[in-house]
Structure 1
């Protein structure tokens, strides 16, 4: 199995490619970045798949914010223009509302939906082409085996998904919240980054959970392939993830052990609390973020919670991976001095000269 985390600015886009138990290669896409990042990062990947005779067996869209669904909107535009054919076999997508689908011409591949919200455009396309999931994608669904890759859903709960739909009534003209940073961590805008605070100075137990209804509807999950596990947190609320981990039998004493964690909400302190990381045993943490956003994600407080967790395994060495390399990201630990890496036992890795971070975790 091979995983690619793409450069999607302050957004999420990843691909899992694995050799299934049918001896064929299969692909799962998780989110799609912004519309503006589709051509630079995903278009070539999709064309390569088609050339190899492969498909996207499952495309998971975690929630309706632009930095997660934007690339798919561009993908649908290219299908409409005839530049691409739809190569997606199945979708995981929770619609925010069940709008009325307009009549279509018999040969139309995608509707002219410029007058409706972006998340509604995806719904309309999937509905028209009979690709909508038969059930809501929630933690209530049973674990799924996809050609030998196991998917276990952790969030959203049915309650959190209903909150989203209650916010946007059926056939209402309410504008959907497009940007996840409209209601960012700790329910307030951050004026300055916290990079001048030393890692050892943060009050890591001081926590206020993100209030975003949209983030709370995120699809987060565990993927497992040949005993290698990855925790995909999307922009989920940590206390929801904890509840699902507890239902699976995990606790602070019996931690969920995995190979990688895709950290929630680009390292927002409102989506990553100490309690969550007390349930997790992992050495590798991925931050899908470039640091260049008006709310200064990742927040250093989030990193401090991971590193200083009191339930962290003794002697473990943590690795932080960023999908970009720039001066801002490299400044995060500058105030701490080089000795902090040995003191808190961690390394930092930045993505250079590539469109994606490539990970082979099949060995």
Structure 2
């Protein structure tokens, strides 16, 4: 039987994903999506060495966006004097790729320095960036259209030009030599100004699922989110994409004929309440959801997001896949909740984290 598998490496609060596919276990190809934090690099390096030793290829190295919990591990790869392997293609919306976009938006620096460093490292290596797009930015231009890539069918859901324009303006202002914020401020540090919220003492789904404010940060909005299809099975990789664009893209893709069948969803923004919405879940014919985060920094997954899955997912039986067993994920394995809402949980067998899911 053909193989289509998503592996979520232990990436702290971030994403480091490997999508493996092929006609058999002996004929696999791979896509690497994001690299997690710097501490993720040893685990990713080991996986890449194994892939190389088997004579297999990484068809695509995809950096979804420049936030530290996605780019740091890939920067380690790009700056390694002896990288374990060379990917056949690289997708990344760096500043140079955004050069033809019209600026719009405001100032809120997140990972611009790392983004510039990554661009320099890729240029030094000579790895082709966005070759399938003529070296230009990767973005939606109208209705999402499936296209063939390295034996997969890929459909781009995010970003669009508006999301990239907002990022470009912030990036340009960060590069601007005008006086910046003083030491110790968020602007000077270039980090997300979010905290870890307390976890509720009681997981009351009927109270938690209520709507909340939506993610509007420019780096997250610039995320490259895709549907990957192989042998009739489909995975939605949501990156940290904004829910308004994911919803718009899914609606356009369905063209009035829904729901949209997906076999596995990697939740956007690590299961943030600002990115996982009722409207998106109701559009999806999918009962399997993967959540990549340790919860150590920002407290993801938010209980509101999980509650919405249990409340609004139209599929009768649901499975939640966590790449960490943590104080914010294991409470969802309570028998009374699983019985009431007809779902199950899957956790890593290794205490260090990481999980593989056959699609």
Shared topology, TM-score over 0.5?
yes
Deviation at 1:206, TM superposition (A): 2.2
1:52-201 equivalences under 5 Å are: 52-79=54-81, 83-84=82-83, 86-96=85-95, 117-128=113-124, 129=126, 131-133=128-130, 134-140=135-141, 142-169=145-172, 171-173=175-177, 179=191, 182-184=192-194, 189=195, 191-194=197-200, 196-201=202-207
Cα distance in 2 between the residues matched to 1:47 and 1:287? 25
Structure 1 residues 320 and 24: alpha-carbon distance in aligned structure 2, compared to 1, 3 A threshold: closer
Q: Which one of 21, 34, 39 corresponds to residue 37 of structure 2?
A: 34
Cα distance in 1 between the residues matched to 2:319 and 2:188? 36
1:288-327 equivalences under 5 Å are: 288-293=292-297, 295-309=298-312, 312-313=314-315, 316-327=316-327
Structure 1 residues 254 and 282: alpha-carbon distance in aligned structure 2, compared to 1, 3 A threshold: same
Cα distance in 2 between the residues matched to 1:178 and 1:308? 36
Q: Which runs of 5+ in 2 are unaligned?
A: 100-111, 181-186
Structure 1 residues 208 and 298: alpha-carbon distance in aligned structure 2, compared to 1, 3 A threshold: same
The answer for the alignment partner of 1:345 in structure 2 is 342
Show CA shifts across 1:260-298 (max 9, x none).
0001111110111111111111111011012222x3211
The answer for the alignment partner of 1:109 in structure 2 is none
TM-score norm. by structure 2 comes to 0.83
Deviation at 1:162, TM superposition (A): 0.9
Task: Give the alignment's Cα RMSD to 1 decimal.
Answer: 2.7
CA contact (8 A) 1:194 1:301 kept: no
Cα distance in 1 between the residues matched to 2:196 and 2:327? 20
TM-score norm. by structure 1 comes to 0.82
CA contact (8 A) 2:264 2:290 kept: yes
Deviation at 1:330, TM superposition (A): 1.6
CA contact (8 A) 1:156 1:220 kept: yes
Cα distance in 1 between the residues matched to 2:353 and 2:289? 19
CA contact (8 A) 1:97 1:168 kept: no
Q: Which one of 242, 260, 278 corresponds to residue 282 of structure 2?
A: 278
Q: Secondary structure at the match of 2:325?
A: coil
Q: Which one of 260, 270, 280 corresponds to residue 256 of structure 1?
A: 260
Deviation at 1:30, TM superposition (A): 0.8
Q: Which runs of 5+ in 1 are unaligned?
A: 101-115
Q: Secondary structure at the match of 2:52?
A: helix
The answer for the alignment partner of 2:48 in structure 1 is 46
Show CA shifts across 1:189-245 (max 9, x none).
45422353411222x342210121111111111000011001110111111001111
Deviation at 1:355, TM superposition (A): 5.3
The answer for the alignment partner of 1:111 in structure 2 is none
CA contact (8 A) 1:205 1:273 kept: no
Structure 1 residues 3 and 197: alpha-carbon distance in aligned structure 2, compared to 1, 3 A threshold: closer
Structure 1 residues 262 and 47: alpha-carbon distance in aligned structure 2, compared to 1, 3 A threshold: same
Is 1:19 the counterpart of 2:22 in the alignment? yes
Cα distance in 2 between the residues matched to 1:54 and 1:176? 42
Number of equivalences = 326
Cα distance in 1 between the residues matched to 2:40 and 2:245? 30
The answer for the alignment partner of 1:227 in structure 2 is 232
Deviation at 1:177, TM superposition (A): 7.5
Cα distance in 2 between the residues matched to 1:277 and 1:196? 23
